[in-house]
């Protein structure tokens, strides 16, 4: 099979297309013929060799993908050969999705409805599970609440918008570019605006009639958390999904609001929690409550370019690899 193989940690130039043996399966495994794979920031960080996750070299990158099951182990009962599925695995739990086929435990695959393309299926995985963990498991979003998705035009943000709407919330999404704002609106946000700063804070407060949002899903805490603490409604919740540095805040704001500020990393989820997340996402797909938005696709051979695009924030929505 054709696959991207990384023999040395470093830059995107180390992502090379290779011809490798088709991986074998065990009793509890499935093999999926892949048509698309998702590209996540964690994939890029891992490839540098400086991330908390450091696989043994050489390795095939990629945790997310979509395709058709073409082999199952004798103990597998949840899927069968010919099923359309999406793959959402954990580090070290798959042979790598940047390939024409992937082998993983059957617990990491779920049915992919016919109305969801393989490219869209590859945009699930980490983004969808992260969004559900933030919006539902951590924030507990409920009908009638107001939710601010602070940085909504990325792969996780767009799915968080859809999930919050599915649970009956009024959603405010922010983005910096016109194209991103358009996608946030298409995802179902009730209001779309520039990223909230002290300069335009009044616009958001007007939308919430002065109360502020009940929930904030935050993707760049080192820039926005101080403002979030001023915005959040009394007894509200701020869930930090992304951060790229340090910030100075005044804890008195947290005291005054009696708000909760919590962080999350998807890879902290236990096996049972991961399975619950996958089941929940699959149910939303079946109910037409979730439609992943693909920002751009690259051929498998251009995986290095896809890595560079992800780190540069070149595209809104999800970056995927198309495997022909």
pLDDT tens-digit map of 166-197: 999 999 999 999 999 999 999 999 999 999 99
At residue 271 the predicted structure's pLDDT band, cuts being 50, 70 and 90, is: confident
Same domain, 137 and 98: no
The Cα-based distances of 249 to 38, 105, 172, 201, 265 in angstroms read 35, 43, 23, 17, 22
Structural domain contains residue 101: yes
Please report, for the domain that includes residue 149, its CATH number. 3.40.50.720
Backbone angles phi, psi at 121, to 5 degrees: -60, -35
Q: Which pair of tokens denotes residue 62?
A: 């990629």
Q: Where are the alpha helices (DSSP H) in the chain?
A: 41-48, 118-122, 125-132, 155-166, 178-186, 201-207, 221-231, 251-257, 271-286, 303-312
The Cα-based distances of 96 to 31, 32, 40, 76 in angstroms read 11, 11, 13, 20
Structural domain contains residue 160: yes
Structural domain contains residue 178: yes
At residue 283 the predicted structure's pLDDT band, cuts being 50, 70 and 90, is: very high
What pTM, to 2 d.p., does this model score?
Answer: 0.95
Same domain, 208 and 245: yes
DSSP 211: S
Same domain, 195 and 89: no
CA dihedral 251, 252, 257, 263 (to 10 degrees): 0
Determine the structural domain holding residue 258 and report its residue range.
127-266
Please report, for the domain that includes residue 69, its CATH number. 3.90.180.10
- Between CA 184 and CA 7 the distance in angstroms is 38
Examine the fold and report which residue of 248, 266, 284 is the final residue of a domain before the chain moves on: 266
Structural domain contains residue 308: yes
User: What is the distance in angstroms between the CA of the first residue and the CA of the last residue of the chain?
Assistant: 12
CB atoms within 10 A of CB 297: 18
- Between CA 32 and CA 65 the distance in angstroms is 9
Same domain, 169 and 298: no
Same domain, 110 and 48: yes
Structural domain contains residue 217: yes
Structural domain contains residue 257: yes
Same domain, 151 and 249: yes
Same domain, 245 and 140: yes
**Rounded mean pLDDT of 268-288?**
93
> Could you tell me which residues come within 8 angstroms of residue 233 by beta carbon, excluding any fewer than 6 positions away?
146, 208, 211, 212, 213, 214, 257, 259
pLDDT at 44 over 90: yes
What's the pLDDT score for residue 314? Answer: 85
Q: Please write the tens of the pLDDT for every residue from 121-155.
A: 999 999 999 999 999 999 999 999 999 999 999 99
Same domain, 231 and 248: yes
**Rounded mean pLDDT of 65-90?**
96
């Amino acid at each position: 099979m054709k696959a991207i193989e990384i023999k040395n940690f470093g830059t995107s130039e180390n992502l090379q297309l290779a011809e490798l043996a088709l991986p074998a399966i065990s009793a509890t495994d499935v093999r999926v013929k892949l048509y698309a794979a998702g590209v996540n920031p964690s994939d890029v960080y891992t490839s540098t060799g400086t991330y908390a996750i450091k696989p043994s070299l050489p390795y095939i990158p990629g945790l997310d993908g979509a395709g058709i099951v073409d082999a199952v182990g004798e103990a597998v009962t949840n899927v069968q050969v010919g099923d359309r599925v999406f793959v959402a695995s954990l580090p070290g739990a798959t042979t790598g999705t940047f390939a024409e086929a992937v082998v993983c435990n059957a617990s990491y695959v779920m049915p992919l409805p016919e109305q969801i393309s393989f490219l869209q299926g590859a945009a699930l995985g980490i983004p969808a599970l992260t969004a559900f963990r933030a919006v539902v498991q951590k924030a507990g979003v409920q009908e009638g609440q107001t939710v601010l998705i602070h940085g909504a035009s990325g792969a996780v943000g767009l799915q968080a918008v859809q999930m919050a709407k599915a649970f009956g919330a009024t959603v405010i999404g922010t983005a910096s570019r016109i194209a991103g704002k358009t996608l946030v609106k298409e995802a179902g946000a009730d209001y779309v605006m520039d990223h909230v700063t002290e300069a335009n804070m009044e616009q958001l407060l007007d939308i919430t009639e002065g109360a502020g949002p009940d929930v904030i899903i935050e993707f760049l805490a080192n820039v926005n958390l101080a403002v979030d603490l001023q915005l959040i409604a009394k007894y509200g919740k701020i869930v930090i999904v992304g951060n790229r540095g340090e910030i100075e805040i005044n804890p008195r704001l947290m005291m005054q609001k009696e708000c909760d500020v919590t962080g999350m990393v998807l890879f902290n989820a236990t096996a049972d929690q991961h399975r619950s997340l996958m089941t929940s996402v699959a149910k939303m797909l079946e109910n037409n409550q979730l439609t992943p938005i693909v920002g751009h696709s690259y051929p498998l051979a251009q995986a290095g370019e896809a890595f560079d695009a992800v780190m540069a924030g070149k595209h809104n929505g999800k970056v995927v690899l198309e495997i022909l």
